[in-house]
Structure 1
């Protein structure tokens, strides 16, 4: 290949490096690499290798130049020599390298400073930022519902940590330390979720919340005394987030009185009947207890067993009749006449006769059956005004006659039942005088009026023994 060819195309490089002219053009155009390091000419072009100590020296010089400091050539040589010794190179080689750098920097010094200064600032910024980054990072142990894990966080407090980790917290959940507490590296944070427990304790139902994960832990947390108690679930049973229903019956002292004996037992029975059975007492037939057998036995309660015997008895009882009165204008005032006599009814009643512990109780009515209905009595009541007088009989001693005949009693009846009233009328004579019904049912005024009419027609003959009293 001719010289002209070399000048036109450059030196051939089997590794693809540019020729001498290409290297010269790159040097003249760029002056330094993109990294801010001057290019070294080589047989194959630009030398891309730069020792670490040279990069450090360049960064230092750029910083000094930015601060207004002047770097002397001998200082530059000494720095380069020291760096060469640290790198294991010969001192002379360091000086030659320094001279080459000086020659390059003298061509375009301002461009080199401008390229090195941003790199120095970036290095300083990254160093400070890394320190702040590491200071904000915290190693925390987070335990959620008993499951621990170690994590790194930039959160400032417990609330931020839980939000960052997506851990929801409800009103019944417990967080330790409390939300809002400042965090430091090495802290431990625990979250315990609340679980609803539908608790029936000694017959009383209520809903409570617990952060315990087992039945045994829940009992301790709720302060329930479980020694000797009945539990509807095993103590080791886990409690899920949905909770569970738990029936607890603590051990209680119950006293049973039966057949003249007293028995005191410790029991966790659910009913009084179960407690009586645990005391070894058997109920027969109609036997019962002083409290409901289905009731819950309370601590310190006394239960009496009642031995009951009973029988049934049937009795017949009368049903009283009613009386219905109606006004009658044909009868004098004060006169009542029974138009239809009443009749009592009859019913059959069954009673239960009960004896408790040998003591007879009041009979209890169970059933009743009417055998005969009662018949209502009908009575006519007089509303007719009494006459003022009866001519020829008004001046007689009618009071004396009545006292002699009936003792002055309007409703008197003789032993034979034939005569009645103040003046002892028989029914036939009473009706002939205009009376109705029986004379003893009429008023005293009407009886006296009828007696006066009888005297006018027959004189004192109707009263053979007492008639003489009329004239006294």
Structure 2
């Protein structure tokens, strides 16, 4: 192994053996085969002690030196240029030097390359990003050099462009700068571009960047700016954001019908449980690049509010037929057929005797009350006296004459406790609030089913309902 020493990227040190030197930085045409030339093992090469002037190009920095070295290896050793196994030299180390010889040294640098979205690490012997991209162009249609990240710093082993402008694309705009051989970090500092730890920094050819398109590139107008500036290389900063997004959706409740032997068939369905929709919550980890979603991953999916099933009960019990009240008949034994008695009564009273009928007189209902309305409407049907007494007792038991009364178990509603209450809609759309509408329906119901209020009252007394 040779003992040449100079760190990659350093300038050649001054040496007493050299003549006055002129240092210039310029693009040096790559010597044919330099990318494939490895460090050759030194042999016993004799060299003349003749004085000669040669030019050394170390990573694009050229220096003209005077030397008595006989070959390339001796020259580099005399100038303190240290090489590693991944560095390249042209011509080879054992090549004899002549006056006017050119020696080119290219240090090997490891760079991360993204080609069509797939990353890999490669070693290159080039001086700047422009040469690197030209070397790697055959790898894909979208080739870029990816800067490594250390927190808010972007580390990159190559200069951007030794002798050309660089397009800086960040935050929706494109700015062009003459790089002067600067690296990524220096260029970002020029424009006060700060990085978050998730941001991506890459170097790409302007042609590839313009062809790749995307909203951020269009917004930055990369293509137009590049044409005006003749920039070949672009330094792109992509703002990467990752956040948790929550989405909720409704879970519709189910409905279930059950049979209930305690309810009559004609009572209609009764809602036992109203039911309620549930809710499902999903959380996604969403990644955006310059505001465009590039990845969305489901991180949780759970029911945060369980739905409640709606339960409806249907009766299965048949309602018994109403009992028919027996007709009153006069018993022959109870009839008073004695003309003598009738005559005596007529004689003693001075009037003609007739059959006597006792009529029960009901107490008047409170003025303006639901009872008063009911008493008046019943009287209009001829239901006074004992019939009113039966009606008053029946609906006192059912609802206490409250037109908003509702049975919490069956759902029966109103003064007559209609089941369902909507049946009373046949007598008016205001059946929920108007006691007169409810009473009119209730009187018709009693007349059609039991004939009279006392018939309904007798049935209620017998079985507990009417």
Normalised-by-shorter TM-score class: under 0.3
Instruction: Choose between structure 1 and 2 for higher RCO, CA contacts under 8 A separated by at least 6 residues.
Output: 2
Normalised to the residue count of structure 1, the TM-score between the two structures is: 0.26
Structure with higher helix content: 1
